[in-house]
């Protein structure tokens, strides 16, 4: 998988997190997000969590020869 594609996927994930957090801000307690999910979205936006990393990508595409 190309590094630029991974970066692009991470950027899209951050944008999605921003949208979910904005929806939660507008709708307040009417949303289904828990406080832990909101905290995770904030961590994603602030760069503390990356949804897709090179190591995860390599692990998903590894092949066993046994």
Query: pLDDT of 20-65, one tens digit each?
Result: 999 999 998 788 888 898 988 898 888 887 665 544 544 444 444 5
Q: Give the per-residue pLDDT at 19.
A: 93
Q: Give the per-residue pLDDT at 53.
A: 52
Phi (first) and psi of residue 62, to 5 degrees: -75, 150
Q: Give the per-residue pLDDT at 58.
A: 45
Distance CA 21, CA 9 (A): 18
Q: Give the per-residue pLDDT at 54.
A: 45
Q: Give the per-residue pLDDT at 4.
A: 67
- DSSP-derived 3-state class of residue 50: coil
């Amino acid at each position: 998988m190309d590094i630029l594609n991974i970066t692009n996927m991470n950027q899209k994930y951050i944008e999605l997190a921003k949208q979910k957090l904005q929806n939660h801000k507008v709708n307040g307690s009417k949303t289904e997000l828990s406080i832990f999910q909101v905290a995770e979205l904030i961590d994603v936006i602030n760069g503390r969590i990356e949804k897709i990393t090179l190591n995860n990508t390599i692990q998903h595409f590894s092949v066993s020869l046994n």
